[in-house]
Amino acid sequence: MIVLDGLTKRYGEKAAVADLTLEIEPGRVTGFLGPNGAGKSTTMRLITGLDAPTSGSALIGGRPYAALRHPLREVGALLEARSAHPGRTARSHLLGIARSDGIPARRVDAVLELVGLTSVARKRVGSFSLGMRQRLGIAAALLGDPGVLLLDEPVNGLDPDGVRWIRELIRSLAAEGRTVLLSSHLMSEMQDTADHLVVIGRGRLIADAPIGEVLGGSSRNAVLVRSPKASELRERLTHAGMTVESPGEGEILVTGGSLDDIGELAFRHGVPLYELSARRATLEQAYMELTAASVEYGEREAK
């Protein structure tokens, strides 16, 4: 488990991370979201001891990273895919990391096979594509078979097969009881992978909830109705206090009412229905609502 207690990091007057308090629990994939500049990378660096907090703490299994006796066997991290020296081979890169924490060489070969790099194990990293570097970074994170994993944008540069592979791998690792913190800007992939979401903006906590709860709280959840008497139904739904839009001929989009509410109202007034279906918000829509006031580096509208 990762426990953050009042975690704060300041650079001069600017707070990159401000009083973060939360628990990242084992046995599930926790998605870590936030706009550019929100403090996600800084938070991960604070957890792994690469930066020192201004105040507060980040504990892994009750201890700071620097106090872990065999850190690679307890925490695996992919924070920068280009961290390997381009002149080294993939195997020598991993072997050097393994020796620093007493991990046997056979584990190097095992993780190379796991990430699909056995055939290029003796090639120099400088010749690798971004996707191959990502796989090497994931191999390094898994080298010590750790119980805690921090993965920052792990699908960058991967092809569709690679994206599916890393999704299945991450979910299987969490299912084994590991603590997995996953940061990504790919909302569709996060929606398919994460069980729980932590959202920050400008260094502060915005949401810490199961993904279903985040999606369910979006104002973009609605009910689509198709009817030959859409105009009549629209009036009756509006009178009942529901909000109604007309996306197309014979269609209405309703918020503020359930499927049962709308179906019963239509039945009472003899309005035939061709379709009555839920339209659930996507993670991207829910995320944009949550972070609308926290975007620090955004695009301006063209004039």
Question: Do 242 and 203 share a structural domain?
Answer: no
154 φ/ψ angles, rounded to the nearest 5 degrees: -70, -20
pLDDT of residue 123: 95
Tokens found for residue 263: 């179906």
Q: 303 falls in which pLDDT band (50, 70, 90)?
A: very low
157 and 133 in contact (C-beta within 8 Å)? yes
Please report whether residue 164 resides in a domain: yes
pTM, two decimals, is 0.84
Q: In the 8-state DSSP scheme, what is residue 281?
A: P
Please report whether residue 54 resides in a domain: yes
15 strand-pairing partners:
10
Question: Do 98 and 21 share a structural domain?
Answer: yes
CATH number, position 130: 3.40.50.300
300: pLDDT strictly greater than 50: no
Q: Containing domain of residue 238, as a range?
A: 222-279
Per-residue model confidence as pLDDT tens digits over 60-94? 999 999 999 999 999 999 997 677 899 999 999 99
52: pLDDT strictly greater than 90: yes
pLDDT of residue 301: 43
Query: What are the DSSP calls for 195-257, one per residue?
Result: SEEEEEETTEEEEEEEHHHHHHT-TT-EEEEE-TTHHHHHHHHHHTT-EEE--STTEEEEESS
Please report whether residue 101 resides in a domain: yes
Question: Do 204 and 69 share a structural domain?
Answer: yes
CATH number, position 234: 3.30.70.100
Looking at the structure of the chain, the number of domains it has is 2
Question: Do 20 and 159 share a structural domain?
Answer: yes
Of 180, 209, 238, the domain-final residue: 209
Question: Do 114 and 185 share a structural domain?
Answer: yes
Question: Do 241 and 167 share a structural domain?
Answer: no
Comparing C-alpha atoms, which of 26, 7, 36 is closest to residue 202? 36
